[in-house]
Structure formats: C-alpha cells, structure tokens
Copies of this chain bind each other. A is one copy, B any other.
Amino acid sequence: MTASRDLKELSETEALRRLASVPFGRVVFTRHALPAVRPVNHLVVDGQVVIRSNPGTVLSREVAPAAAVVAFEADELDPYERLGWSVIVTGVARLVEDPEEVARFKELLHPWVQGGMDQVIRIRPEFVNGFELVPVDAAS
C-alpha cells in the first residue's frame, strides 16, 4: 500500500502560477439545475481564466448580461507516487463581448475541438484554493 500524503496549501500567487502552467482544466457549472463539468483548454490572462465554449453550455443563452458563478479546476497528479497539485478557482464567468478582446483571445486560444466554441468567457477568481500532496514528513 502506497503511503498517504499530507496536503500543503499553496499561496494564491503560486496557485495561479500553476494554473497558468498547464494547457487545460475543467470548468464546473450548473446546467438545467444539475452540476456539470467539461474539460477545456484555457489561458490565464491578467489573473483571470479565459476559456472558449459553445453558446448555451457554460453560460445560458437566456441570461443577459451572460454571467454565472463557476469553478475551474486544473491539476497535475501522479496516481502512482500520489504526488502533485490541484488548483480550484471559484468566481463569476462572464461573456467577453468587446470585439477587440474577443478577437485577441480567439487568436491566443484555439479550441481542441473543431467547429463552434464561439463564446469567449472570462472567469474572475473570487476564491483561489490550491494544494500540493507532500510526503507526510515534509509537511510537518
């Protein structure tokens, strides 16, 4: 049996640095009153998480201005060594509507899946939680 680990909390700065260091994460939202989650590639720009989505997936078509509270999670976890980290940000997701900003983000962020993904969404973190799995001795 592999040894258990302790959790070491990451500072907000370090958590956002790690989130920016990986190409994709998982956006967590509510859809038809059910918890929903989708893997998606992302950028961290000016401390905000930028993703692309199909209209009506993360942000409902009906809400104007389009905004919703979401979470975004990314991790690098090694299940064999049981080491690694995870970062979760929670905040308001808003549709980017300024045409110049939309164009800039579409230039920087290419969806993995062809077709659609025409909404550019910006998530402003209100809470940033990051932790690292560390050997039990190292945490004390």
Stretch at the interface among A27-35, A43-51, A95-103: A27-35
Question: In the complex, which residues 58-81 of chain A have their Cβ closer than 8 Å to any Cβ of chain B?
Answer: 69-71, 73, 75, 77, 79
Q: Which residues of B lie under 8 Å from residue A24 when comparing CB positions?
A: 77, 79
Tell me whether A5 is interfacial, beta carbon within 8 Å.
Answer: yes
Q: Which residues of B lie under 8 Å from residue A29 when comparing CB positions?
A: 35
**Contact in complex: A110, B41 (CB < 8 Å):** no
**Contact in complex: B82, A112 (CB < 8 Å):** yes
**Contact in complex: A5, B114 (CB < 8 Å):** yes
Partner of A28, one of B7, B36, B77, B79: B36
Chain B residue nearest to A24 (CB atoms) is: B79
Q: Which of A2, A7, A37, A90 has the most chain B CB within a 10 Å cutoff? A: A37
How many copies of the shown chain assemble into the complex?
2
**Contact in complex: A4, B110 (CB < 8 Å):** yes
Tell me whether A26 is interfacial, beta carbon within 8 Å.
Answer: yes
**Contact in complex: A71, B113 (CB < 8 Å):** no
Query: Lowest 8 A-B CB distances belong to which pairs?
Result: A4-B114, A23-B79, A28-B35, A35-B71, A28-B37, A37-B73, A82-B112, A39-B86
| A/B interface sample: 14 pairs, CB < 8 A | A2-B112, A4-B110, A5-B114, A26-B26, A28-B37, A34-B69, A34-B90, A35-B90, A37-B73, A39-B73, A82-B112, A112-B133, A113-B133, A114-B136
